[in-house]
Chain A
Amino acid sequence: MTELYGYVGKILRVNLTTRVISEFSSEKYSPYLGSKGMATRIYWEEIGPEVKPFDPENKLIFAAGPATGTGAVGSTKGSLTGKSPVWNPVSSIAHSTTAIFAPALKRAGYDALIVEGKADLPVYLWIANGKAEIRDAQDLWGKTTRNTRALLWQKHNKQTVVACIGPAGENLLLSACVSVACNTPFGRGGFGAVMGSKNLKAIAVYGTGRIKVAQPLKLLEVNRDRAKFESIKVGEKRIVGGKEVIGKEWDETVACDFGTVGTADTQLRDLAKLGRVRIKPNACEACFAFCRTRYSFVDGSLPNSSVKCTSNIGWAMAEAIADNWEKKVLGPASYEFAQTLDDAGLNMNDFCLLSPLFGQLTPFDENENVEYTLLGGDWLYQGYVSGIFNEENTGLPWNKFGTKEFNDKFLQMVIYREGFGDILAKGFRYATKYIVEHQEFGPNRDRMLYIYKRINSKAGNMGCLDNGHGQYAPNSGRSIFTAVGDRTGSEPEYMWSHHMTSFLNETPAAVREKWLGPGTNKILDLYYWGPEVAHAVIKHEQYSAVLDSLHLCEIGTMTLGSQGLGHYANRPVDRNRDLIDWLDHSPHGGSELLSAIFGREVTNEELDEIGARIVNLIRAIWVRDGYTTVDDPFWGKAVDTLWDMHFQRKNTEGKNLTLKSGFDATIQDYYKERGWVKGVPTRATLERLGLKDVADDLAKRNLLPNESWR
């Protein structure tokens, strides 16, 4: 028997209806790497278009990649896949990723876990070192995520990783997530609600197993190369990466460059200076990016937590509005609001951003030239300032927007589905449609659709996966990526512009051409349309798919790694890190790490092809689930495009941000390079990627492009 490196070799299947627990080999999924790729294949094989998101036949597929848990830089992540209720009227595959859970699953002996069926009473799964049991969870039902974790730690041990839902998931809120740790959820896709529909409260995993690595010393070497730091004494000046950096005292940088709040001058930072709050960096397993910040209130008035960008900035703007901008943003009230959301098990991108973060406070004027776009938070706030929402039709105390009173009332209504909260609980697409169709929202209610479209730019019957990252940025690459991609949140510009300007050894232009192909420097012109843009988008999609399948965190690998100097320059205490060499060798992330793990040469080309396979398979699933065929009376049937309004927006100089003609031509370039016709992969494309059975299936359903399509 050959030694298994990276993988642990088994997949666990738990049927909650029949209570049968079984195992099977994960070997046949190796052409899809693992995590997202593996789960996509399982989805293709097991979840058909007839299955509805809340049916017992829908499955929750938790999967880890070959890099997960090996200690490779950023290898803490895993994915959760299933049919998402968020996308409607066409429900299809969605992936959500988070830290902590997948490494534990692997240490417990499984590359993936498939949960299917529906329990008759609340249960939780207990998985410990190769054994799984379905246990009663009636005493856990109704508990917050924090309390559920605490109770299960008590019941088992404190090294148990608990993925659980809070009241939001139990009440089938479409914004419910599966919480794994403090501010660490499988956020997108509404899988908390799917878990709730299965009466599954939690999955507790305890594993002490080991993951084999072919060349452990090589892996260590690659890791170190990627997480170099440079130590600078306090007060010392040094040129790092062409920039002068001064070593600072901890107190000067407190709060500070740790986490994604960056150097924000916040109330919490002031409290830290007064000694009332303790702040320190926090990272997930095996990651140097430290995108989190750990907070602790000395007097214990608020619970400790480890926060990320969203959980930090969440309600900050609303708080500022309530204070008439008199205080600094991000005080204890915002912090508390975010913690409440986390305890309830709500997707922060949807709910924490329900205040206008970058948007505007007055009803926006359609003719004004703005380069920014609206975010999720604006949905609620614009609805209010546009005169659609009032106290009467929502039951919310709008004159107290941004205060704790408003927050509490709002969350109570949403989580327990009272009145207006019940409409929101069904998701923003549903709510938008409901508001437009109901007279009590007044004569302006049509505008709600406009607001929705401004936020969720992808047109048609699926839309964007979440309210927070559905935004559209004013450039050609992002437009194409948003129109075709399944992965909201992995913004390509980071890789293209930020990132590739932070290399020392080669010029950014050379690096960009090296990884994205000749001519790709043209993509830096935000108004350029052409095949180079399509090509760069394709490379980025495949790169993201590979990262999500390995599974390496895209924050460490792309976003923060990319911003390198910008983000870390003024960093901590008496040291500064030098990240410029990071990713010098392969923006495609994993090839070196994977070579060390597998003990054989893994090339970027190989990974790129796997990426293409995954992207095509996801597209095939979308097609099978009705993406290209369903024509919804409200949302229409647009495929791979943006809502019309996005082609009319202009920049401050009056120039079109997204040009309709350019977009249409470039999307054809995209299809051509992909080997798709009208958004559907051709038989030749699928067969080239080893997906013949997929092509056969689509042909049988008469969904494959044929002569009559021309």
Chain B
Amino acid sequence: MNGKGYTNVPLKEGWSMYKEKETTTVGSVRAGAKVGTEQVKPKEGSRGVKAFTLPISVPPSKGVLLVNDKMCGGCSSCVFACTLYNDGVAAPSISRIQVDNIRFEEWDATAKPCLQCVEPLCMRYCPTNSIKVDGKTGARIIDEKACIGCQECIKHCPYDPPRIRYDEVKKKAVKCNLCDGDPQCVKSCPFGALTYYTDPDGVKTGYMGEGTQL
């Protein structure tokens, strides 16, 4: 991982990405499971996630937010940077980077950014095709005009908490757009635990990009 951060983010309970063995009950990927470049899609009808094909093939994102979980203390500075910059208000519930910093007794309280999935399920399940790939950053972004606020994308985000949030005021879904290549969360991290990792050839992270070495 070269100290850059982790990409092995566990999926929601009951979701799977790779079929490790034919007989394995589908669950979240075992931590540290060796996953090759060859990605095996779940069989149709397997529990957890439906087999699917994207309507269009999308290029991988050119950038992604990485979290060094040894250094992230869960201070939520990124959360506030996100909504102050993007929404002009302080509203953690619609932050595109989530931190659960209420339950101090839980170990895992690091920042949880959108991973700009290789195969973005949000895009797949959007009935109005309003999630698109940004030409500049490769981020999967929401076209606000086209979004009808049905929240299908949120339901199908394979991560917990969902990285797409629902804005009750606008009645639209909101999603990380990497701040057009200048992520405010990274700039506001007081500890340097967040990195904006870019690669012009594309970074393979998130769903179907799990385990990629950066």
Contact = CB atoms under 8 A, between A and B. Distances in A.
B85 A575 contact: no
A182 B104 contact: yes
Given A213-B84, A213-B88, A216-B89, A304 B187 contact: no
Interface string B84-106: 11011111111000001111111
Interface string A181-205: 1111000000000000000000000
B101 A250 contact: no
A224 interface: yes
A278 B106 CA distance: 12
Contact of B70 (A149, A216, A573): A573
A266 B103 CA distance: 26
Contacts of A618: none
A107 B76 CA distance: 15
A212 B168 CA distance: 15
Please report whether the interface of chain A is mostly helix, strand, loop or mixed according to DSSP: loop
Contacts of B109: 282, 294
A286 B77 contact: yes
Interface in A268-296: 278, 280-288, 290, 292, 294, 296
Contacts of B205: none
A639 interface: no
B102 A575 contact: no
B71 A572 contact: yes
Contacts of A220: 81, 84-85, 184, 188
Select the residue from B83, B87, B91, B92 with max chain A CB neighbours within 10 A.
Answer: B92
A476 interface: no
B75 A304 contact: no
- Among B83, B93, B190, find the residue whose CB has the most chain A CB atoms closer than 10 A: B190
A282 B85 contact: no
Nearest to A100: B102
A683 B39 CA distance: 80
B188 A573 contact: no
Interface string B45-83: 000000000000000000000001111011111011101
* Most chain A C-beta atoms within 10 Å of own C-beta, residue among B88, B90, B168, B192: B90
Contacts of B101: 283-285
Q: Is chain B's interface secondary structure helix, strand, loop, or mixed overall?
A: loop
B191 interface: yes
B3 interface: yes
Interface in B174-214: 184, 187-188, 190-192
Contacts of A229: 190-192
Given A281-B71, A282-B74, A210 B91 contact: yes
A70 B90 contact: yes
A70 B77 CA distance: 11
A71 B84 contact: yes
A304 to B, nearest CB: 5
B100 to A, nearest CB: 8
A417 interface: no
Nearest to A254: B70
A610 B81 CA distance: 29
A574 interface: yes
B71 A286 contact: no
A427 interface: no
Contact of A285 (B75, B81, B91): B75
Interface string A572-605: 1111010000000000000000000000000000
Contacts of A209: 91, 93
A158 interface: yes
B104 A231 contact: no
A465 interface: no
A304 B80 contact: no
B149 to A, nearest CB: 16
Contacts of A219: 84
A559 interface: no
A58 interface: no
A224 B191 contact: no
A208 interface: yes
A225 to B, nearest CB: 11
30 contacts: A107-B91, A146-B105, A153-B103, A158-B102, A159-B100, A181-B105, A184-B104, A208-B91, A210-B83, A216-B84, A217-B84, A220-B84, A223-B81, A224-B187, A227-B77, A278-B107, A282-B73, A282-B104, A282-B109, A283-B76, A287-B75, A288-B75, A288-B77, A288-B191, A290-B73, A294-B104, A294-B107, A303-B105, A304-B105, A306-B104
Given A213-B88, A304-B107, 20 more contacts: A71-B76, A159-B102, A210-B93, A210-B94, A213-B84, A219-B84, A220-B81, A250-B70, A278-B107, A280-B70, A282-B109, A284-B101, A288-B191, A290-B73, A290-B191, A304-B106, A306-B105, A572-B191, A573-B71, A574-B3
